[in-house]
Amino acid sequence: MLWRRNARFGAAALTILYGILVLFPLPRFQAAPHFLGYRTAVYIGVLGGVCQQIILFVAAAILWGAAVGGSLSQGATLIARWIFRLCSVDFGLAHLTAVQRVVPMIPKWMPLIRPQDASAAGPPDDL
């Protein structure tokens, strides 16, 4: 951080802001299956959106904990690692279950890219 005296305030503000932003995609758990159908892929996709916000919240909480106490406890570190791991697994599953939506994101100028290649991008995300 640039200014040590503002580090705690900035980290706390980020944690609170990202904590609020975690709540925004939660109504999609009810709305998305209603409009897109009750399928596992829909729930995995919605969970992926929630996990993106959770990762930002956890990163801000780690920053806040480091700014306040200098380092995190072993329990907090373990919880943060597990959250990052579970969210990464969901990202990989989202790639595998929504190949139709992933393929258009691949630039046309990339040679030898097929829909099968997009589905092969999921397992590396899980590592």
Residues 70-102 pLDDT 10s: 777 888 888 988 998 998 888 888 878 876 776
Task: Please give the Cα distance from 40 to 47 (Å, whole number).
Answer: 11
Residues ≥6 apart with Cβ < 8 Å to 97: 40, 41, 44, 45
H or E segment to which residue 82 belongs: helix 74-97
Long-range CB contacts for residues 111-115, cutoff 8 Å, separation at least 24 = none
Mean pLDDT of the residues in the chain = 80
Three-state secondary-structure class, residue 113? coil
16 pLDDT more than 90: yes
109 pLDDT more than 80: no
Count CB-CB contacts under 10 A for residue 64: 21
Q: Residue holding tokens 């790639």?
A: 95
Q: What integer is the mean pLDDT of 60-69?
A: 84
Q: What is the pLDDT of residue 112?
A: 64
Q: What is the pLDDT of residue 123?
A: 53
Q: Residue holding tokens 């780690």?
A: 62
Q: Which of 7-21, 89-103, 108-122 shows the lowest mean pLDDT across its residues?
A: 108-122
113 pLDDT more than 70: no
Residues in the chain: 127
- pTM for the predicted model, two decimal places: 0.72
